[in-house]
Amino acid sequence: MGLKHLSGFKTETMTTHFILVGLLGLCGLSLSLECTRKLIVNMDFAGKDIITLYSPDAEHCQHLCTQYSSCVFFTFLRPDWTRDNRHFYCYLKTSPSGQPTARTPLLGVTSGFSLKPCHPDPQPCLSQVYHHVNFPGANYRTLFTADYEECQRACTRDPACQFFTFVEHVFVPGTVRYKCYLKFSWAVPRIPIITRADRTISGFSHRIQSTQYFDAACDGKLFPNTNIPGHDIEVLFAASPEHCRTYCSAHPHCTYFSYMSYAFKCCLKNNPDQMVRRAVRGITSGLPARLCQLDNDWIKKTHVGIDFPYSDIRDFPTSSVEACQRNCTDDPNCQFYSYITDKISNPARRQRCYLKRVITMPAPSKVIKLANVVSGFSLKNCYYKVIF
């Protein structure tokens, strides 16, 4: 893919990290923080299963483990797995020691470790394509292209496209030959749940969490005390109307949104024909902004009395919420955080900073075998790396 020159950079960061690990080791950190990239073929890792996701290969599964907050190692069931039909299953696992509780030789599986200790790229380049593999669902646009390369280029060019499936010229039925399906998955971090919690303050990393840059600045459009009833396509948790607008702007089908501040609910809506607005106190509606650089001030706001529970990558004491916020911004893997103030009764949690993240890499919700189709990912993150 012509990206080989990047490996030099990787080696350098690994060396730096090796020194860092050594220092941390001296400070008596118990959990293993060694950077282990190697994939172990035909070996099963036993541990506590956290979640099972789909992946087209072991490398992708390793990235999923890296981006999943509590995952430490994984086992992937390859397409040549013969015991049953569980192909492309990616088992994310953990254990108290950070090591598999057992390693058992097993044909058709590949295991490995999370890259969290390796200073992982938050937006890895996924240049592999997969023949006779389908990524079903998640379609938002289709077109006809001469070959899968053109389909992949269409995906790379389209801001919402994360992955694609292309139907080859020998596929049956013939009517869908050359069809290119562009597919969407969330590349902006979605906070799984937002709750009210006394003595807790939450906020976001100040790093801009997007690869897209536009010259034109814009303010966007919010309609305060306005509801737009009906036409919901997805309901998410958001901390503010501006946060909700980020979700709407990322979703290719979102025509407008309504945000209910009392429940932290962000309703993404689709109705390209009309927009009926009604005056309702406590609801803010608005329009997405896809082609301009939106004001990102909302990520700098801290939310007092609000908790972002779960998805912890690490936690430690800090003197203030400002320090916690800085630690989050300094860690490329931290997307959002919660801080417990000194007013809480449990001394173990007093003034503790919890750094958090969720999966933002392209992740098909399902991966299956299908003859004469080709699937793969957008190359947006590959170009980004070459340029910078």
Ligand X SMILES: *[C@@H]1O[C@H](CO)[C@@H](O)[C@H](O)[C@H]1NC(C)=O
Report the interface residues with ligand X, using CB under 6 A: 316, 323, 326-327
**3-class SS of residue 91:** strand
Residue closer to ligand X (CB basis): 202 or 327: 327
Distances in Å between the Cα of 20 and the Cα atoms of 35, 162, 325, 331 are 11, 34, 22, 14
66/74 Cα distance (integer angstroms): 10
**CA nearest 363: which of 85, 118, 50, 135?**
135
To the nearest whole angstrom, how small is the minimum distance from the Cβ of residue 80 to ligand X?
42
To the nearest whole angstrom, how small is the minimum distance from the Cβ of residue 262 to ligand X?
34
Residue closer to ligand X (CB basis): 261 or 341: 341
To the nearest whole angstrom, how small is the minimum distance from the Cβ of residue 54 to ligand X?
33
Residue closer to ligand X (CB basis): 230 or 317: 317
Residue closer to ligand X (CB basis): 195 or 319: 319
To the nearest whole angstrom, how small is the minimum distance from the Cβ of residue 318 to ligand X?
6
Residue 208 identity: I
Q: Are 34 and 99 in contact (CB under 8 A)?
A: no
**3-class SS of residue 160:** coil
Q: Among all chains, which residue has been given the structure tokens 């000194």?
A: 342
Give the rounded distance of the alpha carbon of 331 from its chain centre.
16
To the nearest whole angstrom, how small is the minimum distance from the Cβ of residue 34 to ligand X?
18
To the nearest whole angstrom, how small is the minimum distance from the Cβ of residue 366 to ligand X?
37
Residue closer to ligand X (CB basis): 199 or 326: 326
Q: What is the largest CA-CA distance in the chain?
A: 68
Per-residue exposure over 69-87, b if at least 16 CB sit within 10 Å of its own CB, e if not:
bbbbbbbbbbeebeeeeeb
Cis amide bond preceding 173, omega within 30: yes
Tell me the residue ranges of DSSP E strands in 270-311.
278-279, 283-287, 293-294, 303-307
To the nearest whole angstrom, how small is the minimum distance from the Cβ of residue 24 to ligand X?
10
Residue closer to ligand X (CB basis): 311 or 381: 311
Q: Are 328 and 205 in contact (CB under 8 A)?
A: yes
Residue closer to ligand X (CB basis): 46 or 323: 323
Write out the two tokens for 160. Answer: 């919402």
Residue closer to ligand X (CB basis): 18 or 316: 316
To the nearest whole angstrom, how small is the minimum distance from the Cβ of residue 32 to ligand X?
17
